[in-house]
Amino acid sequence: MKSISDQLSSYAAYHRDRRNIATHVVGIPLIVFAVTILLARTAWSVPGLPFALTPAMLAAAAAGLYYLRLDLRFGAVMSALLALSVWGSAGLATGSTTQWLCAGLGLFVVGWLIQFIGHYFEGRKPAFVDDLMGLVIGPLFVVAELAFMLGLRRKLHREVLRRAGPTLVRRSAAGATGT
């Protein structure tokens, strides 16, 4: 299994334009929330559990365990955020089919549109095109970037920068760069 610095560096290499990173800070949480909404509609009663089990819970638990295995601190943050997303999606999943689908599909489409705008600025395709793990690492990348902006996890941040390079603001999608 790749380390957290391997995963974040690989993903970061596709995300060096600050505007692209900013769109990911907005777009990825929308997509994650949309997926939990869409996966929260089906529920199974399990004897002995005080709540119904949903595919959203199972997916969040699996992702949370993966993140915890990669890094305990980021894994704890990711698990808490995924739990909040599952909790927030539960109310939308119990609404009418129209409300559920409009919320889930609407947020999903808007989130991806924001992502693709960011990659227009970047002038590079999304990471998941070359490696599907990019779909799993994206949410972790957002949390890591926010932590780095707050001055947290400096050693990891330096390692990601060493491997992926500095972030820039590009003047055009063609690749003219400036600092």
pTM, two decimals, is 0.89
171: confidence class by pLDDT, cuts 50, 70, 90: low
Question: pLDDT-based confidence at 178, cuts 50/70/90?
Answer: very low
> What is the torsional sign of CA 50, 51, 52, 53?
negative
- Answer yes or no: is pLDDT of 173 > 90: no
Q: In percent, how much of the chain has pLDDT > 70?
A: 94
C-alpha–C-alpha distance, residues 143 and 109, integer Å = 21
Q: How far apart are CA 108 and CA 167, in angstroms?
A: 27
Q: What is the pLDDT of residues 97-147, one digit of tens each?
A: 999 999 999 999 999 999 999 989 888 888 888 878 889 999 999 999 999
What is the share, in percent, of the chain residues with pLDDT greater than 90? 78
Task: Write out the DSSP string of 77-136.
Answer: HHHHHHHHHHHHHHHHHTS-HHHHHHHHHHHHHHHHHHHHHHHHHHTS--GGGT-TTHHH
Judged against a pLDDT cut of 80, whether residue 18 lies above it is answered with yes
Domain ranges in the chain are: 4-178
Q: What is the pLDDT of residue 46?
A: 86
Provide the pLDDT for residue 176.
47
Average pLDDT value over all residues in the chain = 92
pLDDT at 170 over 90: no
**Per-residue model confidence as pLDDT tens digits over 28-72:** 999 999 999 999 999 898 888 878 899 999 999 999 999 999 999
